[in-house]
Chain A
Amino acid sequence: MSRSSSSPSPLSPPREPAPALMSGAGLLAARGEQAHRRLGPLSRRLWALWRQVQGYLFLLPALLIFALFVWYPVVLGFVMSFQSVDLINPATWVGWTNYRHVLADPLFAIAWRNTLAFTGYALLFGYVVPLVLALAINEMRHGKSYFRLAFYLPVMLPPIVTVFLWRWMYDPDAGLLNALLSLVHLPGRLWLEDPQTALPALVVVATWSAAGSTMLVYLAALQGVPASLYEAAEIDGAGFWHRLWHVTLPCIRPIMLLMLVLQIIATMQVFIEPFTITGGGPQHATLSVLLLIYTYAFQNADFGEASALSVMLFLVLAAFALVYMRMTSRLLQGD
């Protein structure tokens, strides 16, 4: 097979029934072998080659697109992190300078702290809420599909709509939140202007818009809990809490772990909420890593430093991605 590419002859082009060789099973295999035997060794090799070429023609669009728009930019990112790139002058090699500058930037520590805080808050709100919602909705005998729809609705809103809407609701004077507070005679707050509340306020927005899809995943997982387990537990005299703790939760634990890792990966990429609602303020209280990357690149026109910070973000996310990959492969094997 390996020599086939070196000895093609233009004199013996592949004949028509060649594709029949594709399959290996049953009758077809027998026929294929017959076809093989009828041919000379040279044309047999040519057929094999033609088959390979045909297959790779199917892969060609994906190969081109992935090479040009994923594999190449990923490599380019590593290269650019060692270069000075401003898109006007040709790129020059600068060694570790970009990394040194990024690490020396006082905003570096702030951005990472904020991003980690965002992830932490997002898990605090965003991990429990969908799970509890799914558990409760799954028990409902009435209005199940209404609840599912109602809680999933925010996921369908375009993110720009969500952030504009919430920015207005957080408005200290004309916003809905302070109006509701004043209804119950509580003092309003400067939600987005106060460094204390700005970040949690953004977490609420992110959770509001993302919780629905996590909830759906849990709901699907809950449907997969076998009824026989509940019945067996009941016969053994297990009460509600016992069944919840020893049947329901263990059954959906793989999904719960998976969603945990996924949520960490997703929330560490927080960008659109600080970018559009607070612009990273007040006093850098909502500056995230991705927003800092954006600032380096599109405000300071320093694509090298932006790449250096991207590489750091990549390394952190890749660590979580590896955990995720091991989990999914274990989960798929378990199926």
Chain B
Amino acid sequence: MKMDHFETLHRPDEQEPAAVAGQRWRAWRLLLATRRSSAETMVSSERTLISPLMLRRPLVRALYWGVFSLLLLGTVTTFGPLYWMVSGALKSNVEIFQTPPTFWPTHPQWSNYSNAWQILQLPLYMCNSLLLAIGAVVLQLLVSATAAYALSKLRLRGKNALQFAFFATLMVPSVVYLIPQFVNISDLPLIHVSLINSWAGVWLPEAANAFNILVLKSFFDTIPSELIDAARLDGASSWQVFTRIVLPLSRPALAVITIFTVIASWKDFLWPLLVLSNSNLQPLLVALYHESGLNANLPFSYLMAGLVFASIPPILLFLLFQRQIIRGVNLTGLKG
């Protein structure tokens, strides 16, 4: 909720160890060890509801391990469906519709994955999804960083009114103007251009993201104005202050926004579905949705394999950037 989360985002112990040839694994183990120890000291230094003293009582200890095993059992509900998906993709087309279903594929068809990769044209659609995500990041960073800088660090007349106009859009869920938005981009006012079936039709509306501006502005606000004054004294222009001081200092905040934009763009479904009817332009998820409905001959296990491929990038991103994502959720959680 407070913006000072960011200040701890970039920790020196997060730097990758230098990869000495043949000793890479050792470096990684070292890294993991330092991380674990820092995580553990963090946990143990915290005081929670149950006191350490209380935990020494046998009854409380038993209860503690009871809750622990319940939670462990609870994780089956999240890993179970994932396992079902990955293993389902390995089943033959007969086995996958067998009643009762098999919990373990009797003859794992590893070729299902490679076949799905080709038949569903996954390289094309993954590439589309990737390009859509890259465009979204570039555009959103450009739009929100410049606006946040102007709102945070420049003295402008009418700034408060504009700020209100930006942030008021946070209160308007985009689905309530979904229909007019579609009519809007199918014939833009004044210039009368249609963005239907173009990636710009996906990129531009999602670039109007007041939340990015809010996060960046709050972060820019924490940059001391003495620093900027000093640069000004040395004759730096507003643009130079922006690119040489504000942006480099805000790398953690920009990173959070980048990660969240990539993930949101990859997961986006309804808007690309409406805008992109040309199948050569569609992102992976829209293509999979159409494929499941239109191609009746598509083996179900291939569809499952396609879903597995579609899940890998966001899960990988999550595992790589857990720290940033968890901190980011605490900010975006307010947005929902």
Chain A interface residues toward B at CB < 8 A: 1, 16-17, 19-20, 22-23, 25-28, 31, 51-52, 54-56, 58-63, 65-66, 68-74, 76-77, 80, 85, 87, 133, 135-154, 156-161, 164-166, 168-169, 173-176, 178-179, 182, 208, 212-214, 216-217, 220, 222-223, 227, 230-231, 234, 240, 243-244, 247-248, 255, 258-259, 262-263, 265-266, 269, 271-272, 276, 290, 293, 297-298, 303, 306-307, 310-311, 313-314, 317-318, 321-322, 324-325, 328, 331-332, 335
Contact = CB atoms under 8 A, between A and B. Distances in A.
Contact of B318 (A65, A74, A156): A156
Contacts of B70: 136
Interface in B176-192: 176-186, 188-189
B68 interface: yes
Interface in B298-336: 300, 303-304, 307, 310-311, 314-315, 317-318, 322, 326, 329-330, 333-336
Contact of B307 (A19, A26, A135, A164): A164
Interface string B113-152: 0000000000000000000000000000011101101110
B8 interface: no
Most B CB atoms within 10 A — which of A22, A182, A290, A314?
A22
A165 B81 contact: yes
A82 to B, nearest CB: 12
Contact of A22 (B154, B175, B329): B154
Given A321-B172, A335-B1, A266 B336 contact: yes
B238 A55 contact: yes
Nearest to B186: A87
A25 B48 contact: no
B155 A22 contact: yes
B16 to A, nearest CB: 20
Nearest to A24: B155
22 contacts: A22-B154, A22-B238, A58-B242, A63-B162, A69-B181, A136-B67, A150-B75, A156-B263, A157-B82, A157-B311, A165-B307, A176-B81, A213-B333, A217-B329, A217-B330, A217-B333, A255-B1, A265-B336, A311-B176, A313-B176, A321-B171, A335-B2
Given A25-B225, A165-B81, A262-B335, 15 more contacts: A20-B235, A28-B229, A55-B150, A56-B150, A58-B154, A59-B162, A62-B166, A138-B48, A153-B78, A156-B311, A158-B310, A159-B267, A217-B333, A240-B49, A262-B336
A16 B205 CA distance: 38
Given A19-B236, A223-B46, A77 B177 contact: yes
A143 B181 CA distance: 46
Given A52-B156, A263-B336, A58 B171 contact: no
A20 B233 contact: yes
Contacts of A153: 78-79, 82, 315, 318
Interface of B is mostly: helix
Contacts of B77: 208
Contacts of A71: 165, 169
Nearest to B162: A59
A112 to B, nearest CB: 15
A70 B208 contact: yes
B36 to A, nearest CB: 9
B232 A290 contact: no
Interface string B248-271: 000000000000000100110110
A58 B149 contact: yes
Interface stretch (B22-30, B94-102, B104-112): B94-102
B292 interface: yes
A200 B100 CA distance: 24
Contacts of A28: 229, 232-233
Contacts of A150: 75, 78-79
B19 interface: no
A321 to B, nearest CB: 4
Nearest to A276: B289
